[in-house]
Amino acid sequence: MQEVSHSYLEELNDTQRKAVTTLDGPVMVIAGPGSGKTRVLTFRIAHIMNSGVAPWQILALTFTNKAAKEMKERIERLVGSGANKIWAGTFHSLFARILRVEAHRIGYPNDFTIYDTDDTKSLIKEIIKGMGLDTKAYNPNAVKSRISSAKSNLITPKAYEANADLMNYDRMNRRPKIFQIYDKYVKKCLRAGAMDFDDLLLQMFKLLYQNPDDIKSKYQSQFQYILVDEFQDTNFLQYEIMKQLVKYDGSKENICIVGDDAQSIYSFRGATIENILQFEADFMNVQTFKLEQNYRSTHHIVEAANGIIGYNKRQIEKKIWTDYIGENKIKVIKALTDSEEGKRVADLIIEQKNRFSLENKEIAILYRTNAQSRVFEEHLRRQNIQYRIYGGLSFYQRKEIKDLIAYLRLTVNPKDDEALKRIVNYPRRGIGKTTIEKLVQFADDNEVSMWQGIPNIELSKRAQNLLAGFAGMIASFRKKNQGGINAYDMALFIARKSGILELLKSDNSIEGLNRVENLNALLDGIKEFVEDDELGDGENPLEKSLSVYLQNIALITDMDEDKGNTDVVTLMSVHAAKGLEYKSVFVVGMEENLFPSFMALSTPNQIDEERRLFYVAITRAKDLLTVTYANSRYHFGQMRFNDPSRFIEELPPENVDSIIPIKAKPEFGEPRVLGGIKPRLKQRNVLPKIDVSGFVVAAPNEIKEGMKVLHMKFGEGKVVSIDERQVASIHFTQLVENAEKRIMLQYAKLQILE
């Protein structure tokens, strides 16, 4: 037996050490900002490994993949080797990895597509339009967030319809049919073999809960130790998954959660502080440790943070303190315009760099909304200060990148309707809007993906040939892809054969050249992925297929990318700054309607969350904190006037320099009031209510011309004709428009009436 060194324990204070060495049973660590939380987590994992536990038996759920990567590197240095085999990453990426192996057990292909926000939105929009509803009343964003929140709370479409609170809420907001959209959305995703971000959690839960082939015990016994970072930002569903993994007969319940209720800033995506309270109720004998000493910031910053958070009721009792007495108070700067704000921040950065010999990378500008980055960019560039913006439009969201990726997605999973719609006519091959609409309708009627509809839909000869040509190309890509080709060779082949590369190269404008460059950068990235010789769990090189590549990039964010050692000022949203620290921090745009956001003004709970967000913002600073606001700023091309943020007044005066407590009155430019909702409904099919109990599905070959049949969705109809591809034309008596539908017998659920 090798001698194990525990010398790292000497680097910890008493509470930290207890949090690291208490390995058995449920542990809760409440960790104030700058209290050495990351250190505790890494040391704890190292300690678990030193106690003889294999790295792959440890599940560490972090907030970003970058945090997981850094943690693994630090653990590697502490314990020698093996740290790369720890299951560390975000909920989404780790569950995607598991589902890639297990999805077939719950009705999904293992090669499932991950739908991003744009895919989700466009699908929801398609459904709304398909139902003849108005996209103004049924704002796709609003609908998406209702669906997302339903999924995060384990509410199925059926349960949604049966839930009086949800239905009343939707009725009050004039969106009574959200439950139907939700239902269609779920079905369409399944047909497309696609999971959205919420599904990565929801399907993981289903896998464990439904427990096909006793799969649950496999993961329960694998993950002997579970750690969850930023627990305050997990939602109900994430917590339920954790419980599936940890709570069972004979479990040692070795789970450690680390969080800070004061830094809970993600309730908009379903995170709930209740989880912290619930944890103590769900687990017996939870051992709680509170890390209250702040090692990061000056007393001015810590006291200001305490002062701010004191305005919030209801929090876990704790007192964050520091023995770091700083010289510089918090600076509050008022600017007349947003542009002046940008200039003053840039000037002050120059001044601070000289006076305190700061490097660019020790400085960050934090804002409430990504749209605010522009003025700072402008002025930093003017002053020749290197910077980097995180968040906003990422590389993978550029059009030319998404186009090629859509081809790759379709090659891996041809049922991916969103990918198909995107590129079926790009580059142009004469397949127009009408054809695509018909294909969408046909696929919907037959409850299949568009890809499955292509060989069976009846269109003009021309349209049919064009579609067949496209399908043939994709089929040839698929055939090539199944021959064990790596992702790079495949992607290059597709970029050439699809005509994308050629099309982009024919554009000699600056933007065109840029696009070619971006596409090449994407191909380089794929090459890098292929050549990376990182080892997987079983010491085998990780698989380099297109499918694995797509899974990797679907969950990548700006934050995960290496900044390298470049010396740049960081610009990012406050949300993105969670967990980070800088010597000098500028929190900008501190105005009513912006921070706190106008969306939050009417709800006390949301104001509290904005306040926690401000708390997170200021506690990123180690030495210097500057808070700025502007009397006027451009927003959507309009000049707007805002009062200074209430949070500025909440800063304790003794920790602040040069505060100017003037409440500017708006002179003109009152906020534009959005108009009322004007529903504009066309006469549409109202689908008949069909009693599905006692429904007898007929075999495809039993259906004959002239028969009267019952369809699950469209009700009674008469079979007009059946063609050689087994597509039947059926006239449905209860439909108002497009009563004659073409239905694929292979998939149709029809009952013979007479």
Summarize as ranges the residues that interact with DNA (CB under 7 A): 63-64, 90-93, 117, 125, 135-136, 139, 141, 145, 148, 197-198, 267-269, 368-371, 391, 425, 428-435, 463, 555, 557-559, 572-573, 575-576, 597, 599-600, 606, 609-610, 634-637, 640, 671-672, 674
Q: Smallest gap, in angstroms, from Cβ of residue 463 to DNA?
A: 5
Q: Residue 635 half-sphere exposure, CB side, CA atoms within 13 Å?
A: 17
Cα gap 49→308, rounded to integer Å = 40
Residue 175 corresponds to which tokens in the numbers above?
Answer: 């969106």
Q: Which of 415, 544, 620, 640 is catalytic?
A: 620
Q: Are 294 and 320 in contact (CB under 8 A)?
A: yes
Q: What is the DSSP letter of 33?
A: T
Q: Could you tell me which residues are beta bridge partners of residue 421?
A: none
How near is the Cβ of 300 to DNA at its closest, in Å? 27
Cis peptide leading into 596, omega within 30 of 0? yes
Nearest-approach distance from CB 623 to DNA, in angstroms: 25
Nearest 5°: phi and psi at 572?
-160, 165
- Between the alpha carbon of residue 177 and those of residues 142, 143, 184, the distances in Å are 13, 10, 11
Measured from the CB atom, the residue of 198 and 260 that comes closer to DNA is: 198
HSE-up of residue 317 (Cα within 13 Å, Cβ side):
0
Give dist(CA 730, CA 720) in Å, integer: 5
Q: How far is the CB of 352 from DNA (least distance, A)?
A: 25
Provide the minimum distance between the beta carbon of 6 and DNA in the complex, in angstroms, as a whole number.
34
| First-to-final CA distance of the chain | 79
Instruction: State the amino acid at position 669 in one-letter form.
Output: G
How many helices (H) and strands (E) the chain has is answered by: 27, 21
Of 37, 622, 640, 742, the catalytic one is: 37
Q: How buried is residue 133: exposed, middle or buried, by Cβ count under 10 Å (0-12/13-18/19+)?
A: buried
DSSP 430-454: S--HHHHHHHHHHHHHHTS-HHHHT
CA dihedral 567, 569, 572, 578 (to 10 degrees): 70
Whether 620 is catalytic: yes
Decide whether 570 or 573 has the Cβ nearer to DNA. Answer: 573
Minimum gap (Å) between residue 549 Cβ and DNA: 17
Q: Least CB distance from residue 239 to DNA, whole Å?
A: 15
Cβ distance to DNA smaller for residue 287 or 606: 606
Closer residue to DNA, CB minimum distance, 575 or 711:
575
Catalytic residue among 21, 22, 38, 441: 38
Measure Cα distances from 490 to 202, 480, 515 in Å: 32, 8, 20
Q: Quote the least distance from Cβ 100 to DNA, whole Å.
A: 15
Q: How far is the CB of 240 from DNA (least distance, A)?
A: 15
Of 15, 62, 238, 263, which one is the catalytic site residue? 263
484 in helix, strand or coil? coil
Alpha-helical runs (H) found in 65-116:
65-79, 91-102
Residue 37 designated active-site: yes
Give least dist CB 370 to DNA, A: 3
State the minimum distance, in angstroms, from the CB of residue 422 to DNA: 12
Active site residue 2: no
At its nearest, how many Å lie between DNA and the CB of residue 427?
9
Q: Strand order of the sheet with strand 727-732? A: 740-744, 727-732, 715-722, 708-711, 750-752
In this structure, the number of other CB atoms found within 10 A of the CB of residue 106 comes to 15
Are residues 19 and 291 in contact, defined by beta-carbon separation less than 8 angstroms?
Answer: yes
Count CB-CB contacts under 10 A for residue 469. Answer: 12
Q: Which of 198, 230, 417, 447 is catalytic?
A: 230
Decide whether 298 or 642 has the Cβ nearer to DNA: 642
Whole-angstrom distance, CA of residue 716 vs CA of residue 751: 9
Preceding amide of 427 cis, omega within 30: yes
- Toward DNA, which CB reaches closer, 242 or 559? 559
For the bound state, the minimum distance from the C-beta of residue 153 to DNA, rounded and expressed in Å, comes to 13
Give dist(CA 695, CA 709) in Å, integer: 11
Residue 93: CA count within 13 A, CB half-sphere: 25
Q: Which of 126, 170, 198, 229 is catalytic?
A: 229
Q: Which lies closer to DNA via its Cβ, residue 481 or residue 551?
A: 551
Closest C-alpha to 39, from 64, 59, 10: 10
Q: Give the closest residue to 647 by CA, choosing from 671, 620, 615.
A: 615
| Helix residue ranges per DSSP H, 532-577 | 546-554
Whether 263 is a known active-site residue: answer yes
């839909």: which residue's tokens? 457
Complex with DNA: residue 368 or 620, whichever CB lies closer? 368
Compute the C-alpha angle 495/497/498, nearest 5°. Answer: 70
Distances from the Cα of 117 to the Cα of 198, 235, 267, 470, 495, angstroms: 11, 19, 18, 26, 24
Residues belonging to the active site: 37-38, 229-230, 263, 620
